[in-house]
Amino acid sequence: MQFIVFAAFAIVLSVPLDGPPWQTLHSPWWTGIIVVGQVMGAGLIGLAGSASVKRKLERDPAWLPGAQRRLGRWTLVLRFFLINSFIVGMYLTDWSRYVRGVAWMHRIWGLDEMVMLLPFLLSVLAGWIVLYPADRGVRQVSLEHRLWSSQPGRPVWSLGSYLAFMFRHHVLIILAPMVPIVVAIDAVGSDHYGGWLRRVTGVVWADQAVLVVVAGLVFLVAPVFLRFIWQTRSLPAGDLRERLDTMCRRIGLSYRDILIWQSDGMVVNAAVMGLIRPVRYILLSDGLLEMMEDRKIEAVFGHEAGHVKHHHITFYLLFAVLSMLIVGGVSELVVLYWPELVGDRSQLRDYLQVLAMVLIIGIWGIAFGPVSRRFEWQADLFGARSVTPVAGECDRPCLLHGTLAADLANPGRPVRDAAAVCATAAHTFGEALHRIAVLNGIPIEAHSWRHSSIANRMRLLAQYAVDPSAVVRLNRAVVAVKIVLAVGTVVGLAIGAWLYWPTELIRMLRVWRG
């Protein structure tokens, strides 16, 4: 859902000030019908999905995974409708022109973009409200199963708690950092302030440099205010805190704090955020702490630590930079070699704005998933290794500890491969993943764009325990991804500097010398 919210922002920012450059439905009636239809359509889809899931639960309440899969499918349908109906409303109607046609709207930077985004946000809210009974039904059955097996559980959340949680974790997490960026775009994009920056500095791209600085600062400090958006508190002193701190000291992981992510017990998960130590937080949800054994909590914590130790967050940032460089390069090629694609050259910039949005969403939609999944698999591997027991506590046939049948025939033999993973540790982390899926109401075979399915991750962990070459292949694949991101970013920046810097440097020196 977070990617959908990000895409909605990209769509809003791609619309030129005068509206889409192509022919649109100029009738206010059609604009109103389509804009209002977005909200009503989301509500109807949510209503149909809720009814379908409830029928499934009524017919076969004992088969919870079936209801979970059905809820997941309807959620995907809702998301598909949300983004595509918003595209229609923004690109085929005069909605943006009506909003920006209000004179006072321009007095507050970023306000027109937020109003343009309003139909999307209302559609999201409408979909969640009518889909809530299905979510509640699935969670209620899951709670009953846990109670029957004498496991702890909290009452299922109310509609208000559900909406507050969903908004904070799926919308506000994108909305909060994007608002200052949108405000900066409006500020430096205005003729007054943008022109002033260019005149004072003597640099024609000074306004763009300010945007890059603002975006960088927002990315850097975002964890500080996101910890409050997600309602967190510091993990208190105790046995678990001491064990996690000890693990961090052992692996050399520095962080600002370990936080409890408060979700009324409805979320069983963990997360890490922050590029550098002063703003780096590792989060463990209250549901995770309440419903998982300490050993499995350590494994999940180790997974998040793996993201930090392998510098995944840094390379996610490089992915973002490289995607912008690719978009900029394609836009330059269009300007240089294919201006005839648009008959009216005055409209070329408007078309390029839309093209840039399509490219950004396309790059992230196609390429980010494979990159993220490999990083997740590597973090899974780190999480499993973080709970490797001593040889005497390993209770499974294990290549690392020499307890496979072939190894027992040669007692005292050294470990055969440095890449080997303890079978007990891999099993422990696999069980933690399965438990997280069950407690969160996620079918283990459900595909995830960023993580792959839980079942696939469990199969990979089992493979790592018996086939060290699979570990080697994974690490090589991750290294290849990192090299592509790093080299691509450096080459892109070098090309940009080669194209623009010499001429601009000479002109800047002349301006500064008077």
Which H, E and C letters describe 376-411, residue by residue? HHHHHHHHHHCCCCCHHHCCCCCCCCCCCHHHHCCC
The parent domain of residue 53 ranges over 1-156
- 76-90, 98-112, 156-170: range with lowest mean pLDDT: 98-112
Does residue 129 sit within a domain?
Answer: yes
Over the stretch 214-247, which tens digit does the pLDDT of each residue have?
Answer: 888 888 888 888 888 888 899 998 898 998 998 8
Distance of alpha carbon 211 from alpha carbon 13, whole angstroms:
13
Does residue 147 sit within a domain?
Answer: yes
- Write down the pLDDT at residue 414: 46
351 and 1 in contact (C-beta within 8 Å)?
no
Distance of alpha carbon 459 from alpha carbon 503, whole angstroms:
56
Over the stretch 479-507, which tens digit does the pLDDT of each residue have?
Answer: 999 999 999 999 988 877 776 655 555 55
Mean local confidence (pLDDT), 456-467: 92
The answer to whether residue 160 scores a pLDDT higher than 80 is yes
- Write down the pLDDT at residue 510: 53
- Write down the pLDDT at residue 410: 53
- Write down the pLDDT at residue 194: 64
The DSSP secondary-structure symbol of 279 reads G
Pairing of strands 232-234, 257-261: antiparallel
- Write down the pLDDT at residue 192: 57
The answer to whether residue 508 scores a pLDDT higher than 60 is no
At 280, list the tokens. Answer: 């780096």
Does residue 254 sit within a domain?
Answer: no
Distance of alpha carbon 267 from alpha carbon 284, whole angstroms:
10
Does residue 367 sit within a domain?
Answer: no
More confident residue, 380 or 58: 380
33 and 115 in contact (C-beta within 8 Å)?
no
Over the stretch 286-308, which tens digit does the pLDDT of each residue have?
Answer: 888 988 888 899 999 999 999 99
The answer to whether residue 122 scores a pLDDT higher than 70 is yes
359 and 401 in contact (C-beta within 8 Å)?
no
- Write down the pLDDT at residue 427: 92
Does residue 59 sit within a domain?
Answer: yes
Mean local confidence (pLDDT), 170-198: 78
Share of the chain above pLDDT 70, in %: 86
Mean local confidence (pLDDT), 317-332: 85
- Which residues are within 8 A (CB) of 305 and not within 5 positions of it... i.e. 6 or more apart? 247, 248, 251, 253, 272, 282, 382, 383, 386
Using 50, 70 and 90 to split pLDDT, how confident is the model at 44?
very high
The answer to whether residue 405 scores a pLDDT higher than 70 is no
315 and 485 in contact (C-beta within 8 Å)?
yes
- Break the chain down into helix, strand, coil percent, rounded to 5: 75, 5, 25
169 and 226 in contact (C-beta within 8 Å)?
no
The answer to whether residue 352 scores a pLDDT higher than 80 is no
The total of structural domains in the chain comes to 1
* CA proximity to 71, closest of 127, 11, 8, 153: 127
Does residue 136 sit within a domain?
Answer: yes
Strands, E, within 269-393: which ranges? 270-273, 281-285
The DSSP secondary-structure symbol of 443 reads -
Strand pairing partners for 234? 259
138 and 71 in contact (C-beta within 8 Å)?
yes
The dihedrals phi and psi of 259, each to the nearest 5 degrees, come to: -115, 150
> Please, what's the b/e burial string for 90-110 (b: 16 or more CB within 10 A of its CB; e: otherwise)?
bbbbbbbbbbbeeeeeeeebb
The answer to whether residue 170 scores a pLDDT higher than 80 is yes
435 and 455 in contact (C-beta within 8 Å)?
no
Does residue 355 sit within a domain?
Answer: no
The DSSP secondary-structure symbol of 258 reads E
- Write down the pLDDT at residue 481: 96
Does residue 331 sit within a domain?
Answer: no
The per-residue pLDDT of the chain, averaged, comes to: 83
Distance of alpha carbon 449 from alpha carbon 235, whole angstroms:
30
- Write down the pLDDT at residue 206: 67
Half-sphere exposure of 63 (CA within 13 A, CB side): 10
At 197, list the tokens. Answer: 């920056």
